[in-house]
Amino acid sequence: MAEFTYNNKVHSSTKTLLFKANYRQDPRMEFEVRRKEKYERVEKFVIKMREVQKEAKVALGKAQEKIKKYIDRKRGEVNEYKVKDLVMLSTNNLKYQMIRRRTEKLTERFVGLYKIKKIVLTNAVELELPSTVRIHPVVNISRICRYIEQVEEQKKEQQALVIIEEEEEWEVERILNK
């Protein structure tokens, strides 16, 4: 082992292995050295794999561009929210608003006037929610919209509920058609 290690060192003056300088061949270990043909096959395989990887990279790049083009078409201006801005929350995924299944169609698309408590990320804000709203206070900006105050003549007054047979009902002002 010592002789093998010594003979496999590159000598500083000759810049070659000592074994090779003495015997004009590389030292052999206990196994047979592979033929050059096998290395050529491996090199061809490596070249082929690199070509496949380049083609895949180009195809993925084209797909990413196509997806980005499609998504950018649907993207609009991003609203920048500030702390204490008034916003309304989408009822899209809120089940607490849906008292009965039949009223789901008639439920408003956005509810409440909630203040923004904190800006968490560029696309997420924390809202000041009442205890009746049982959701996490941090919501994505896609679930909120900025509150725009109504014009004086446009304000609608909330009608009072009438209790009939222990159920809350709305009082009908007039029937327009039958």
| pLDDT higher than 60, residue 22 | yes
Per-residue pLDDT for 163 more than 90? Answer: no
pTM above 0.85, yes or no: no
Q: Read off the pLDDT of each residue in 162-177 and give the average, rounded to a whole number.
A: 74
Of 12-16, 98-102, 144-148, least confident by mean pLDDT is: 98-102
CATH topology for the 79-149 domain:
SH3 type barrels. (2.30.30)
Q: Kindly report which listed range (21-30, 55-64, 97-106, 139-148) carries the lowest average pLDDT score.
A: 97-106
Does residue 89 carry a pLDDT above 50? Answer: yes
- Mean predicted lDDT score pLDDT of the chain: 78
Confidence of residue 2 (pLDDT cuts 50, 70, 90): confident
Per-residue model confidence (pLDDT) at position 97: 45
Q: What is the pLDDT of residue 63?
A: 93
DSSP-assigned states of every residue in the chain: -HHHHHHTSBPTTT-SBHHHHHHSSPPP-SSPPPPHHHHHHHHHHHHHHHHHHHHHHHHHHHHHHHHHHHHHHH--PPPPP-TT-EEEEE-TT-SSS-SSGGGTTTS-SEEEEEEEEEEEETTEEEE---TT--S-SEEEGGGEEE--PPPGGGPPPPPPEEEETTEEEEPP------
Share of the chain above pLDDT 70, in %: 73
- What pLDDT band is residue 155 in, cutting at 50, 70 and 90? low
Residue boundaries of the structural domains of the chain? 14-76, 79-149
Whole-number pLDDT of residue 116: 93
